[in-house]
Amino acid sequence: MNHVTPVTEPAAAPAPRKLQGCTNLQLRQLTRRVSQRYDVEMAHIGLKTTQYSLLSYVVKLGPIRPADLAHAMSMEPSTLTRNLKPLIASGWVELAAGSDGRSRSVCATAAGREKRAEAQRHWKHAQDRLNQTLGMPRVLALHALIQESLALLSSTDSESGEAHD
């Protein structure tokens, strides 16, 4: 008995994916959704994500001159001053005299270091939940894509002389 294998057409290549929508809009939507998850977690301890970031920089770099802190955070000095006010009012950060009579120094208080440690636990919880929701393979791929994209954009910015944060 002869068995003849039927000839089948090769599988059609998948149709090329068509770009849908604006990249900027989609990135902003993604960052808003991710930020919301961190915001909810930080709200449990009375911090905004921006305050946690600022407090972390102060703990890590302080005591530090406000201008140097603003530069390290790629932030305008006036924005830094405005964002420091609630941290100072809460007793987590203080402005002290700097190395000379004209300068100031930003540093974390003991309460600020405790608040940051508490916030780190909540931040990790938010990250773990996000990793669980998206799945680690997707998170790792997303991180790689973001890092590659940032490197490409940085190299093209430096070639064209543009400066971006």
Residue 79: inside a domain: yes
Residue 107: inside a domain: yes
Residue 70: inside a domain: yes
Residue 132: inside a domain: yes
Q: Do 112 and 91 touch, CB atoms closer than 8 A?
A: yes
Q: Which residues pair with 95 in a beta bridge?
A: 106
Q: Do 98 and 104 touch, CB atoms closer than 8 A?
A: yes
Euclidean distance between CA atoms 154 and 97, whole angstroms: 37
CATH number for position 93: 1.10.10.10
pLDDT band at 28, cuts 50/70/90? very high
Please report, as a single letter, which amino acid is at residue 113. R
Euclidean distance between CA atoms 126 and 36, whole angstroms: 10
Euclidean distance between CA atoms 96 and 106, whole angstroms: 6
Q: Which tens digit of pLDDT belongs to each residue from 64-101?
A: 999 999 999 989 999 999 999 999 999 999 998 877 77
Residue 30: inside a domain: no
Residue 13: inside a domain: no
Residue 11: inside a domain: no
Q: Which tens digit of pLDDT belongs to each residue from 103-153?
A: 889 999 999 999 999 999 999 999 999 999 999 999 999 999 999 999 999
- Residue 147: domain span: 47-159
Residue 36: inside a domain: no
Q: Do 33 and 90 touch, CB atoms closer than 8 A?
A: no
Q: Which tens digit of pLDDT belongs to each residue from 151-162?
A: 999 887 666 665
Can you give the pTM of this predicted structure?
0.74
Q: How many domains does the chain have?
A: 1
